[in-house]
Structure 1
Amino acid sequence: MTIDDIMSAAPVIPVLVLDERLDPIELAKTLVASGLPVLEVTLRTPHALEAIRAMASVPGAIVGAGTVLDPRQLDAALDAGAQFIVAPGLTDGLTRAAIGSGTAYLPGVATAGDIMRGLDHGLDRFKLFPAESSGGLPALKALASPFGDVRFCPTGGITAATASEWLAHPAVSCIGGSWIAPAGETDLDRIGEFARTAALLRPN
């Protein structure tokens, strides 16, 4: 799958920080059934790679690894079955490795310089991160203006209440949201409710 395929598959990508309290297969089934098939499992916990491997077996799930920091983590995520890679920033080493692997890759950017370095690598799809604390919607609008062909997945600080505002901007293809499965939430019915509401949102 291309990064455009992934970014257009659903308006919201759940950003998941997983521990042993939630069964990753049941979580993936819940999210896919609720209309959010693209799942970003962040490599922030010891359970992340195991969760990616398990969730990748769920029909309809498009499972990726987030918070990938270097080529070693890239290789581990791909070995676990990740179908796409998300990084919090943009470095030459990881970018070259990700492009070389042929996997769909979404590096993080926060400045015009970040975007220009990505363009030098042939990339024009980015995660705007951290979206809210980097200036919010005004910053997105300012960054999108000189880069007309660039599309973003803003992530970081976006909530259910602000999601539609971000998705209304024409440079936004989708957003990342940790509110779908917030830290400590173990009720799959509640997570399914959040996911169904998010799946009804429509980008620009």
Structure 2
Amino acid sequence: MLCAGHFHLNTLFADNYFDFNMILEGQNDLTVIGIFQVSNGDAPSSLLKSVKGRSLLTVGLMRETYLPVYNYIYMVPELLSLEQAQKFDVILGQAFEDDAMFAVSTNPERVACAFVYLQNVPSKEIFEAFIAAASRIFVNLCELEMNLGCIGDTLEEWRKAPVSWPKTISKLEIWDWSPGDFSNTKRKFTGSPDEFDESIHKLL
């Protein structure tokens, strides 16, 4: 969108080396950011520090296949507003359709593995809406990795109110995440969602 001689972006897909803090400062209308070739938790951690006082739908995309598709996705749901979480599938689906990356496809049906980053204990309402919307758009998702910055408090919330994980998930991993310190991040659980629900009390 062009306004007063300047471009005002609603959606941006860019490589990981861009200064997203500076972009966010100059683009107040930006609501969707897609980051290509994300390889670890650096981008989510950086965005959590950069985004202050605004909602943002953010995904990182990575290709772990010989096919020309992005099949790994990174998400930061605590940056979402409730409305964005409820419409996550619609908003992201439209952004993927509008994307002009012809060399590598951004097709949500090709996403097999998702990485979710939560620095704080998530809002129950927003997180439930996000998981439901993610289930609708990523219909072939089979692996889900949850990176939790406040793992004890988050697991306690999930023990009291179990999460309705996507039914396509066969492998769920839970990590004790240290934002900005990838070497100190530790895996606490791997198994099926049912096994997680049965053993969550042992992780507390």
Short-chain TM bin: 0.3 to 0.5
Q: TM-score, normalised by structure 2?
A: 0.37
Q: TM-score, normalised by structure 1?
A: 0.37
